[in-house]
């Protein structure tokens, strides 16, 4: 009986990750493809997006390096926008500001936006649950154990990691101080601990309202 339950769980999990969703894909060339696609993944060997022009059509593997954005629509009608961008770590080492780019571009989920900033979450994998909510997944035997939160200004090419699950308050304040260093008055608010560690979207909106 236990083996049967485990098999059912595995089959359900597999069905979730193999599902195609209505998708609009913006290529780096500016071309747009519309059809159905699986959700993106940041797993090491995943380098393609599985795409179909119709729900029952033939699968086409799209090279993810040629894709800029994908807009997915869940069965509930909720839409989710993914962007493929370079992620940059921000931290201080021996008093010096350090910026380190991750080796490859990653799929990021847009979770908040205002005219001054885009906020993203970054995980190893993603799935849409039965209620139409996007779920970020890490771990499960992988070295990737953190969900990151990033900011990107509208005119910037890269997104910058400013927080993450497991980050200390000090790590977040230092990263945000580097990101907002062009606005010293706002950095002072961060260093005075005006914002909580997890209120990244509130920081984004407070920054916009301070301009």
Where do the structural domains in the chain lie, given as residue ranges? 66-210
Per DSSP (E only), the strands in 74-133 are 79-85, 87-93, 96-101, 106-113, 118-122, 125-128
Q: What's the confidence (pLDDT) of residue 29?
A: 96
Measure Cα distances from 65 to 16, 61, 158 in Å: 24, 12, 15
Name beta bridge partners: 201.
Answer: none
CA–CA dist 163, 181 (Å, integer): 16
Q: What is the mean pLDDT of each run of 10 residues along the chain (211 residues)?
A: 39 55 97 97 90 96 97 96 97 91 93 97 94 88 84 95 93 96 96 85 96 95
Q: What's the confidence (pLDDT) of residue 3?
A: 41
pTM flag (> 0.85): yes
Provide the 10 A C-beta neighbour count for residue 34.
12
- Which DSSP symbol is given to 38? P
Q: What's the confidence (pLDDT) of residue 18?
A: 64
- Phi then psi for residue 201, to 5 deg, are -65, -30
Q: What's the confidence (pLDDT) of residue 144?
A: 80
Q: What's the confidence (pLDDT) of residue 10?
A: 37
Q: What's the confidence (pLDDT) of residue 199?
A: 87
Q: What's the confidence (pLDDT) of residue 142?
A: 62
User: Which among 71, 83, 76, 70 is positioned nearest to 133, based on CA atoms?
Assistant: 76
Q: What's the confidence (pLDDT) of residue 140?
A: 67
């Amino acid at each position: 009986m236990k083996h049967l339950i485990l098999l059912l769980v595995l089959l359900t999990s597999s069905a979730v990750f193999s599902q195609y969703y209505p998708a609009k894909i913006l290529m780096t060339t500016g071309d747009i493809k519309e059809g159905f696609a699986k959700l993106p993944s940041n797993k090491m060997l995943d380098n393609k997006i599985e795409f179909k022009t119709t729900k029952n059509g033939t699968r086409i593997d799209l090279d993810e390096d040629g894709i800029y954005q994908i807009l997915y629509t869940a069965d509930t009608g909720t839409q989710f926008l993914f962007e493929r961008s370079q992620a940059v770590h921000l931290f201080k080492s021996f008093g010096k500001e350090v910026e380190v780019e991750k080796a490859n571009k990653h799929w990021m989920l847009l979770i908040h936006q205002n005219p001054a900033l885009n906020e993203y979450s970054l995980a190893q994998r993603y799935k849409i649950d039965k209620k139409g909510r996007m779920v970020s997944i890490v771990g499960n035997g992988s070295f990737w154990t953190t969900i990151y939160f990033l900011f990107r200004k509208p005119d910037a090419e890269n997104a910058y990691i400013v927080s993450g699950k497991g980050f200390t308050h000090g790590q977040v304040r230092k990263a945000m101080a580097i990101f907002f260093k062009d606005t010293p008055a706002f950095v002072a608010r961060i260093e005075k601990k005006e914002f909580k560690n997890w209120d990244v979207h509130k920081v984004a909106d407070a920054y916009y309202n301070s301009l």
